Structures are given as C-alpha cells and as structure tokens.
Structure 1
Amino acid sequence: MSELAIKAAAAGLQTEEPRTRSPQPRLVKMRNFGIGEKSTVTISVATGAALLLLWWAITQAGLVPKLFLPTPAEVLSLGVEIFREGYANATLWEHVSASLGRILSAAVIAVALGIPVGLLMGLSRWAKGVFSTPIEFYWPLPPLAYLPLMIIWLGIGETSKIVLLALAMFAPVVLSAQAGVRSLPQERVNAALSLGASRWQLFKDIVLPSALPEILTGIRIALGMGWSTLVAAELIAATRGIGYMIMSASHFLATDAVFVGIAVIALCAFAFSFSMRLVEAWLVPWKGKQ
C-alpha cells in the first residue's frame, strides 16, 4: 500500500464518530405499600391534642351543659383528688388492682383454652365443625345478653365476673389462631414434608411460627374486648373496680368522675396494647416484612 493510502486511511479513522454506548439501566426505588415503616406517633399526638382542644372549645362556648360535659380542667382536678383520696369507699389503686386481677385472670383462661382450640380448628375439619357452631352463636352477642345467665349459674361472686370476661376474650383468640393456621402457604408445608419433617416438627417449626402473628393480634383484640366488657362484669355486686367506680358515679350524675374512670380504663388498655406490641416485636420480628 502506498504512503498516500496509509495517510488517508489514518485520517478516516480519526474522523470516524465514536460508537455510542448503550445506556445504563436506571435503578428505581421501590415504593412502600400501605403506611410504610415511618412512625405515626406525631400524627397520633396531634390528633389527641386536637380532640382535647375541641372538647375545651365546646365547653367554653357553653354548647353543652356542664352536667353532661365537664371541662377538661374539672376532670383533671377531680382525677387528682381521686388519686389522693380515693372514691366510692376505696382508693384508686384498690379499684385498679381489682379490675386488673379480673382482666388478667380472664385473659389467662381465654389464652390457655383459646389457642389450642383455634389451632385444632385450623388443622382438623372435625374440630372446626364441632367448635365453630357454639362460638359463632355466642360471639356476636353483647356480654350484657348473657350476664343474667352468669348470675343465675355462678352467683354474684368473682367467678361470674371472670367467666364473663373470659367468654368475651375467648372467641377472638380462637378465631385468630384458626386464621393463622389457615393462612399458612401449602408450599411451605410441602417443602417441610419433602425434607422429611415429622408431624410434630411440622407443627413446631412451620405451623406455630406462621400462626403466631395472627395469634398475638387476636390476643390484643381480646384484651380490648375484655376492657370494654369490664363495666358490665363489675355490675355483678362489685364493691371494687374501675367499672364499679364508673357505675357508682353515674348513679349520682357525677359526669366528671365518669370521665376519670373512662380515662383510667383507656390508660390501662393502652398500656396492655403497647406491651403486646413489644411482645410482637420480640417474638415475630418478621411480621409485615415477608
């Protein structure tokens, strides 16, 4: 090749446009579905403050008589007085401890019986057929509907109160345990069986951990049902308890004392719910991350 041809070829290579590179894939950050993982404490606190402000505004405007809706300051003042001097022939701690004893006793009974029954209903067709009928029959009934039966059958002592609370908490625990078993993916069961798992290993390592989040949620719901039933349970010849304090105040139209009792129940229920959230975070840290 001549020298002129070589120079022409070199010049052509220099003037050739460089090849365009293929664009790199752009990474897209996945968006969370639902509420995500951000805390809602600020929103909850702001909502509570807004409700208190609305309550204060209604009472200051005189839209409702103080006999029916006392001011927040009056309720707070009476709450401090009840904390120091007691109410209805008992201290505030005596009322709270009596109610806590009934709630905890009923919760132990409901959990100890409800979880095995619910798991059995989820695993056995016969168990589901036998237990579902009575549970579905009494579950929609308000506790006041079978309160007279508790008095007739068990008397007016502590037994009738605890049984009434246990019945209110039993059904949510059973139904949540059953739902936890029924939500178990069949592929997970088949994988365990293909690896040679025994029935006990399948239950202990697959069924129970998978159902545990639902069970803990059911216990939280059951505790809420127990606190909402407390006033009805303490109608039965009680002399101590937050529900008894509320009913005693209502007889004298002491609305501020009723508000104090409601606030105490709300604080106790919140403490129970918060404790259950901590237990959930400890036992089932994978919940919501599957």
Structure 2
Amino acid sequence: MSELSVTLAPLELPHDPVAQLLAPYPAAWQARSGNGKLDPVVSKPKAGFVLSDRGITLLTVLGLLGLWWLVSELALVPPLFLPSPLGVLQKFEAVALDGFVDATLWQHAATSVARVFAALLLAILSAVPVGILIGLSRRARAVCDPLIEFYRPIPPLAYLPLIVIWFGIGELSKVLLIYLAIFAPLAIATLHGVRRVDKNRLRAAQTLGATRWQLIRFVILPSAVPDVLTGIRIGLGVGWSTLVAAELIAATRGLGFMIQSAAQFLVTDVVIMGILVIALIASLFEYGLRWLQRKYVPWEGRA
C-alpha cells in the first residue's frame, strides 16, 4: 500500500489581528520592533528643574513679601495705612523687648495661646463624647443635633453680649466664647467619624462578645480618630478667628487686645505685626496636627 503524504501549508490570516485591534488607537501605541512584536512605548520624563511643594510655598511667600515691599517703597499707599516690611520687623523687635500696652509681645502671645488651648481642651473633653453619643443614639441625636445646628451659624460677636451678662467680664467669658466656637465643628466631625465606622468590624467585635464600652473603646473611637483630628483642625481655625472677639471683653493682655489697642491709635505696624503673629502661631498648631495625622493615621493624614 502506498503511503499518502500530506503537506499542510501555514494558514495565513487575511489581516493582522494585533494591528486590527490597535487600529483605533494613536500611532504611538502601535510601535513595533524589527521582528514585528509590539514594543511598549514609555514616555520619558523631560529633563528640567522641578520645584517641590515647599519650594512653591516659599516662592509664594517671597512673592507676597516682594509685592508688599514694592507697594510701600513706591508709596502707592501711605505708610500710615501700610508700613513697609522692614518697619513691621523693627516694630516686632521693639514690642518684643519693650512691650506695648503694659506687656511684651511674648506675654500677649502666651496669654492668647493659654486661652485658646484651655478652650480647645474643654472642647475635646466635651465635644468628642457628645459626638460619639449622637452617632450611636437616635434619641441623643434628636436632642443635641438641633441645638448644635441652631447656634453653629451664629457669629460669636452676636452672643458675646449675652455671655458677658451671664458670666461677667473675667477669663471665663473669654474662654467660653472660644470654646463655643470650637465645640460645634468638633462634635459634628466626631459624629461623622462614628457613622463612618465599618459595620463588619462592629459585627465581628460583637460576635467575639465585646461589650458596648469595649466597642466604643477599641472599635469606634480608633476608627473615628481621623475625623476627630480633622474636627480639631477646623475648630482651632475658628477658635483663633474668635480670639479677637473674645479679647474685647475687658482684656488687659492678649494678641487680640494688642491689635485692638493699636487700631484705636492708628498704630498700623503693630496691627499688622499682631495679625502675622496670630497667623504664625495658628500655622504651627495646624502643621503640628497634620504631623499627628501623618504619624498615627497615615491613610487619612496626607493633607
């Protein structure tokens, strides 16, 4: 019997399937090497000088200082209303050493920081538990939430006279005014942190026999820490903005008091200096809280 030999010719496709697949895409994606295989096209970064975020921030600050110096140097605004940066710096040194309205700059700053810090501590001790309670209990939310939302939009100057009538003109009124400004944003942030807790974690802890207190201590509170820190950051900003209003109440020391006293006598360089000192201290608080967020809750602290 003769053997049957069959020769199979290679099957040729009418079209290149890869080329057909890549047809709708840009030509840069269709680059091929000499052997017909696809070569990945990787865009190379262009060589050049790239500024970091800190560099951009530094340039922004220097640009603002340069614009301020230029306006004052060209006398576009009278020095009575806009002193030069050098004049403000000289006044800073004079007030730091010799004082202004019976106290040095450091005494004014220490008094204001103590008031804000006392108000912040009281707000943390009260607003965080209230926020947790509102987040866990519908009845507590029905009682507390309308009260917080009622007074939260009211500017501190509006209820300042009432605080003076009720609590007098001592330190209590000043700290209380700042405390009320910090309390609302901190309580609301804590509430949202509690409501964001993963339900699966709660069920897992309950399955393991955790009590209600253990749920709060080991599950709810750690999960709400990022929101609490955010609430503290927001509350501190509001608290510092309320400081000047708080030191309207028969104060004898404080940065807000110093600014108001200087404004009455048109000592503009002291006014600007006081504003810059408040901004500097508030920025230190802000960056300190950002550092805490990056250190202890890095998944939430990248702001």
Choose which of 43, 58, 62 in structure 1 pairs with 2:56. Answer: 43
Counterparts of 2:145 and 2:67, CA distance in 1: 45
After superposition, residues 33-112 of structure 1 pair within 5 angstroms as: 40-112=53-125
Match of 2:27 in 1: none
Choose which of 203, 207, 210 in structure 1 pairs with 2:223. Answer: 210
Counterparts of 2:126 and 2:52, CA distance in 1: 35
TM-score (ref. length: structure 1) = 0.84
SS of the equivalent of 1:120 reads: helix
Q: Which runs of 5+ in 2 are unaligned?
A: 12-36, 43-50
Counterparts of 1:203 and 1:219, CA distance in 2: 20
Match of 2:271 in 1: 258
Match of 1:166 in 2: 179
Q: Note the alpha carbon deviations across 1:145-184, whole angstroms, 9 max, x for none.
A: 0110111111111111111111111111101100101122
> Do the aligned residues in 1 keep the contact of 2:294 with 2:301 (CA within 8 Å)?
no
Deviation at 1:79, TM superposition (A): 0.8
Are residues 125 and 115 of structure 1, via their aligned partners in 2, closer, same or farther at CA, if it must alter by over 3 Å?
A: same
Counterparts of 1:206 and 1:45, CA distance in 2: 41
1:185 maps to 2:198: yes
Deviation at 1:194, TM superposition (A): 4.0
Match of 2:250 in 1: 237
Deviation at 1:16, TM superposition (A): 8.7
| CA-atom RMSD in angstroms | 3.3
Choose which of 249, 253, 259 in structure 1 pairs with 2:262. Answer: 249
The percentage of aligned residue pairs carrying the same residue is 50
Counterparts of 2:211 and 2:249, CA distance in 1: 50
Q: Which runs of 5+ in 1 are unaligned?
A: 18-22, 29-37
Deviation at 1:258, TM superposition (A): 0.1
> Do the aligned residues in 1 keep the contact of 2:293 with 2:301 (CA within 8 Å)?
no
Counterparts of 2:56 and 2:212, CA distance in 1: 47
Counterparts of 1:53 and 1:184, CA distance in 2: 48
Match of 2:236 in 1: 223
Counterparts of 1:123 and 1:50, CA distance in 2: 49
Deviation at 1:200, TM superposition (A): 2.9
> Do the aligned residues in 1 keep the contact of 2:290 with 2:301 (CA within 8 Å)?
no
SS of the equivalent of 1:141 reads: coil
Q: Note the alpha carbon deviations across 1:232-288, whole angstroms, 9 max, x for none.
A: 111111111111100000000111100010111111111111221222233323326
Counterparts of 1:40 and 1:198, CA distance in 2: 47
TM-score (ref. length: structure 2) = 0.81
Are residues 255 and 113 of structure 1, via their aligned partners in 2, closer, same or farther at CA, if it must alter by over 3 Å?
A: same
1:280 maps to 2:299: no
Counterparts of 1:139 and 1:226, CA distance in 2: 13
Counterparts of 1:161 and 1:248, CA distance in 2: 17
Match of 1:120 in 2: 133
Per chain length, whose mean CA-contact separation is higher, i.e. which structure has more relative contact order (CA < 8 Å, sep 6+)?
1
Counterparts of 2:196 and 2:76, CA distance in 1: 50
Counterparts of 1:101 and 1:273, CA distance in 2: 16
Counterparts of 1:124 and 1:271, CA distance in 2: 36
Counterparts of 1:179 and 1:165, CA distance in 2: 22
